[in-house]
Amino acid sequence: MARVNTVLGAVPAAELGFVAVHEHIGYGMPGSELDTQWWKTPEQRYEETVPKLRAFHDSCRPYGAATFVDATGICNGRDIPYYQSLSEKTGVHIVASTGFVGGDTALPFFERASVDYLADQFVHETTVGIGSTGAKAGIIKVGVSRGFQMKELDLRIYRAAARAALATGVPIFTHLAVNAEPAIEIFGEEGLPLDRVLFGHADDGISQGLVRDRWIAEQGGRIGFDTFGYDLELPDPPFWGRPRAERLEHFLGYLRDGLVDSVLASADANCSPLGWPGVKGHTVNYLFEVLLPALREAGIDEDTITRIFVDLPADFLSIKTFSHTHH
Ligand SMILES: [Zn+2]
């Protein structure tokens, strides 16, 4: 039976329940753990995080279990022992990621690393463990640097991620779906099937007009509607916000066109942001509080909702075996 790596060990994919496929326990820029203005005590972090995870766990009950995929990766505040304690105490399965949010958040140590070195790092974190925690990564994060254009380091990380995904069977998710042409070329050259890649943030406000999401879907990539809730209707919306109705309509277009298997959805919220104030009023629970009711109101049936939040992410996160060897 297919299994998925969580911070507390491998679990059968069929037992993940409802999956929020791109979230953050706490994301911060490298160095923010020492920032004096935004530094948080452990008590503050638990106080901000536990109620959100408990509410998420309760809402997921009808689906059997709750799974939270942390998209933070290396260098951006990933804290595995903390994730393990949160998971133990709230019952939420937490999947940690290896990889990097983007080339421009990789510290110089990794910035200078070769493709082989980076691939070995991702494989080690996925098959042996992250540091000395014993927790294995369940997914690999990659991303496009600031400026919406792939930089040389981004390309090196994407290639290393493709090799590690083939070697380990875990999937990849991306920060941003813009400039996808070089990414798809790399995945093709390495022989990685594109359904192992979730092209993230295809739905955000600043990507519109730049992201070729239908084209990516035609190539076989999965499309991330994973910034649900960053609505311009928020009291203080972020620069990547988008009108709520417009994002929903974009998503519904896929469902109406029979492309449900091409999409995955999440909120990309921070339970407790690190080194920045975060976006007030936005949590993973948007999925239950706003999105699911909106989908039902739009006539989307329960089977489709279960497919989007249970079956498709279970398939995506399952550790696969690839029979062929490449390069
Ligand atoms: Zn994210």
Domain ranges within the chain, ordered by starting residue: 3-317
Mean pLDDT of 13-32: 97
Whole-number mean pLDDT of the chain? 96
Residue range 87-132, pLDDT digits in tens: 999 999 999 999 999 999 999 999 999 999 999 999 999 999 999 9
Yes or no: say if 73 and 103 are a contact pair by the CB < 8 Å rule. no
Half-sphere exposure of 77 (CA within 13 A, CB side): 25
pLDDT band at 155 (very low <50, low <70, confident <90, very high): very high
Task: Report the CATH fold assignment for 3-317.
Answer: TIM Barrel (3.20.20)
Mean pLDDT of 138-164: 96
Q: Cα of 266 to ligand 1 centre, how many Å? A: 10
Q: Cα of 271 to ligand 1 centre, how many Å? A: 12
pLDDT > 90? residue 205: yes
pLDDT band at 179 (very low <50, low <70, confident <90, very high): very high
Residue range 206-262, pLDDT digits in tens: 999 999 999 999 999 999 999 999 999 999 999 999 999 999 999 999 999 999 999
Q: How far apart are alpha carbons 177 and 158 in whole angstroms?
A: 13
Task: Calculate helix-pair angle for 180-190, 152-168, nearest 10 degrees.
Answer: 40
Q: Cα of 300 to ligand 1 centre, how many Å? A: 26
| Alpha helices (H) along the chain | 42-60, 80-90, 108-111, 115-127, 152-168, 180-190, 213-219, 244-256, 286, 292-297, 302-306, 312-317
What's the pLDDT score for residue 326? 52
Yes or no: say if 196 and 172 are a contact pair by the CB < 8 Å rule. yes
Q: Cα of 72 to ligand 1 centre, how many Å? A: 7
**Phi/psi at 41 (nearest 5 deg)?**
-75, 160
Q: Which residue has the higher pLDDT, 38 or 181?
A: 181
Mean pLDDT of 137-141: 98
Yes or no: say if 73 and 123 are a contact pair by the CB < 8 Å rule. no
Residues with Cβ within 8 Å of 151's Cβ and at least 6 positions away in sequence, in order, are: 103, 104, 145
Q: Cα of 302 to ligand 1 centre, how many Å? A: 27
Q: Cα of 118 to ligand 1 centre, how many Å? A: 21
The tokens describing 8, both together, are 């507390």
Q: Cα of 22 to ligand 1 centre, how many Å? A: 6
What's the pLDDT score for residue 1? 74
Percent above pLDDT 70 for the chain: 99
The tokens describing 93, both together, are 């399965």
Alpha-carbon torsion (303, 56, 96, 75), positive or negative: positive
What's the pLDDT score for residue 19? 99
Q: Cα of 327 to ligand 1 centre, how many Å? A: 31
Q: Cα of 186 to ligand 1 centre, how many Å? A: 22
Q: Cα of 325 to ligand 1 centre, how many Å? A: 31
Our CA angle for 21, 26, 29, nearest 5°, is 110
Yes or no: say if 95 and 19 are a contact pair by the CB < 8 Å rule. no
The tokens describing 306, both together, are 């279960």
Q: Cα of 60 to ligand 1 centre, how many Å? A: 21
Contacts 24+ apart (CB under 8 A), 204-210: 204/230, 204/240, 204/241, 204/242, 205/230, 205/232, 205/239, 205/240, 205/241, 205/242, 205/243, 206/239, 206/240, 207/176, 207/177, 207/178, 207/240, 208/242, 210/148, 210/178
Residue range 51-97, pLDDT digits in tens: 999 999 999 999 999 999 999 999 999 999 999 999 999 999 999 99
Q: Cα of 92 to ligand 1 centre, how many Å? A: 18
What's the pLDDT score for residue 200? 98
Yes or no: say if 24 and 175 are a contact pair by the CB < 8 Å rule. no
What's the pLDDT score for residue 323? 74
pLDDT > 60? residue 325: no
Residues with CB under 5 A from ligand 1 (ion): 71, 268
